[in-house]
Amino acid sequence: MPIALKPRLLLAAALGLGCTLAHAATPGAETAALDKIVDATVARYRLPGIAVGVIENGQVVYTRTVGETVAGSGRKITPQTLFKIASNSKAMTTALLGRLVDAGKLRWDDPVTKYLPQFRMHDPWVTANMRVADLLTHSSGLPEGGGDLMLWPEPNAFTRADIIHGLAFIKPGYGFRSRYQYDNLLYVVAGEVAVAAGGASYETLMRREVFEPLHLDRCQVGAWKRDAVGNVAQPHRRDNGRNVAIGEDAAEIPAITSAPAGGIRCDLEDMLGWARNWLVPTPAQLTWLSPAQRQVLQAPHMLIPVSEQRRAWDNTHVMAYGYGWRMADVDGEWNVWHTGTLNGMYSMLSLLPDRRSGFVFMINGEAGDARTVLGEVLTKHFTAPGDSRGVDWYADALEQRAKQRSPASSTPDTAAQQPVSAAGLARWRGRYRDPWFGDITLCPRDGKMYFAAAKSPTLTGTVMRLGDRYLVHWNDSADLDAWLDFHAAAGGQPIALRMAKLDPQGDFSSDYEDLDFQRVGGCR
């Protein structure tokens, strides 16, 4: 039997959620149906590679791998291929914290400053009242994706100490505990709380307290050697109709600051083992993490607004965030899940606890819509087996929604942009500083003006002019290009620079809007 999650069961009772089982099917017929779903997704979105696994009533009933670790390499993806699981790492971080709670080394209601005396938020009252639990529910007051430029794009030179220091300078976007706004920085802080309570590095604790007892033998965190581990998928982007590998790993893979929020890699076999630990825990696994802490992690703690799409597709009434997990009612059943997104890598882990069923998949390509569609169709495989809407129906629906977006929300046409000459931007040249992001320079090179971030080396680009506005076009980064808005302050104050995404609907982790640069010196 699945573990009883009291808050979940109370909410389910209030909603009248059912737990009707899917129609029975022969193994061969079910495999063929799942193959059809995967094949249709790969074909529709021309994915470079994917690994998929399905669990029914606690047993793995289906696995499928398609494509290559690097497009055109001939190296096939297998169930042992490592993928970046991105924000699916958050549930592993909260499980680590749950282990520390079970051990009496930590309490969810402890103030963060008990473990990290240097911790500061923008508001001193919030600093004093921020609990360990508040780090995990995306309700701290940080704007959506606030400070993510200290994590991505990688590589960069920001440390976890830099992040803890920088939080004090990020202005809140809403009231503390008043609403849900997704952030990543506080999961990095949560990892440092684990370090203080557990007496070892985050990477050591994750290996010792999570990977080893659960036999997640190929999951990787921290520094490791690519060729010694082997079979590692690389991210891709679409370029002129082709899948092109980007940001490929070097032989020595370094530890990364973002690990507690989104820096773990795992293969399909380990992710299925991780999922089964939640659906059908063994007696040893219930000793590893107590039923009480399992209830806490997957209970609703912060409500999330339900989108029109979820209401229409899934008849969802309530959506919430736990500790590292999202949850909602879907077609009258309770669903606990999370997704992961990094440049060129997408993943999803989804559980239907009342069925002891679920699925996981990982993709090494541009796959935002593909993940939405595949996740929906695999969910319907359980919750609405008679649903005739397949991959193409949901894909068409997404495309139609995209076409209906307001023109104001789309990226402006940049075909007419031109590089700005050094002389044309001479008034604004110099070194600028933001209190959490640090220094950038706007200085001439080869007759043009270049933007360069001191701690984020891929954020280097040419300053362009488009109409009467300036923007920076990044040379190598996959991050979104950004507007540059200069302001001459009155009273002899330093010149200010603000930034914004060209596409207002772009990824929130490109949080240029939270930057507030002041000129602090000239070009050297």
The verdict on 426 and 484 lying in the same domain is yes
Residue whose C-alpha is closest to residue 97's, from 199, 197, 201: 197
- Does 123 fall in a domain? no
| CB atoms near residue 501 (< 10 Å) | 19
Gap between the Cα atoms of 269 and 284, Å rounded? 19
Gap between the Cα atoms of 231 and 364, Å rounded? 13
Tell me, what's the pLDDT at 24? 38
SS3 67: strand
- Does 64 fall in a domain? yes
How many domains is the chain partitioned into structurally?
2
Packing angle, helices 391-403 and 368-383, rounded to 10: 130
Torsion on CA atoms 62, 66, 69, 72, rounded to nearest 10: 170
Gap between the Cα atoms of 472 and 247, Å rounded? 21
Tell me which residues of the chain have a pLDDT lower than 70: 1-27, 405-410, 477-478, 490-493
- Does 469 fall in a domain? yes
Residue whose C-alpha is closest to residue 455's, from 238, 150, 250: 150
The verdict on 454 and 312 lying in the same domain is no
CATH of residue 84: 3.40.710.10
Gap between the Cα atoms of 62 and 38, Å rounded? 11
Buried-state track 360-397, b at ≥16 Cβ within 10 A, e below 16: bbbbbbbbebbbbbbbbbbbbbbbbeeeeeebeebbeb
The verdict on 384 and 247 lying in the same domain is yes
DSSP letters, 447-513, are TEEEEEESS-TT-EEEEEEETTEEEEEESS--SPPEEEEEE--STTPPPEEEEEESSTTS-TTS-GG
The secondary structure of residue 174, as a DSSP letter, is S
The verdict on 362 and 477 lying in the same domain is no
The verdict on 430 and 390 lying in the same domain is no
The verdict on 368 and 432 lying in the same domain is no
Domain edge (last residue) among 340, 359, 394 = 394
Q: Are strands 326-330 and 333-342 parallel, antiparallel or unpaired?
A: antiparallel
- Does 312 fall in a domain? yes
Residue whose C-alpha is closest to residue 206's, from 99, 322, 348: 99
- Does 136 fall in a domain? no
Tokens 């002891």 correspond to: 356
Tell me, what's the pLDDT at 22? 34
Domain edge (last residue) among 359, 394, 429 = 394
Residue whose C-alpha is closest to residue 263's, from 347, 337, 325, 320: 347
The gap between the terminal CA atoms of the chain, to the nearest Å, is 67
The verdict on 350 and 464 lying in the same domain is no
The verdict on 424 and 347 lying in the same domain is no
CATH of residue 490: 2.40.128.50
The verdict on 259 and 347 lying in the same domain is yes
User: Per residue in 346-379, pLDDT tens?
Assistant: 999 999 999 999 999 999 999 999 999 999 999 9
The secondary structure of residue 20, as a DSSP letter, is P
Greatest distance between any 2 Cα atoms in the chain: 78
Residue whose C-alpha is closest to residue 121's, from 33, 182, 186, 190: 186
- Does 111 fall in a domain? no
Rounded (5°) CA angle 44-367-94 = 140
DSSP letters, 268-321, are HHHHHHHHHHHHS--HHHHHHS-HHHHHHHTS--EE-PPPHHHHHHH----EEE
- Does 407 fall in a domain? no
For residue 77, give both structure tokens. 């993806």
Tell me, what's the pLDDT at 443? 97
Domain that holds residue 63: 6-18+28-88+216-394
The verdict on 240 and 366 lying in the same domain is yes
Contacts (Cβ under 8 Å, ≥6 apart) of 349: 85, 88, 91, 271, 274, 275, 337, 338, 358, 359, 360
The verdict on 377 and 505 lying in the same domain is no
- Does 149 fall in a domain? no
Tokens 């005739």 correspond to: 388
The verdict on 279 and 424 lying in the same domain is no
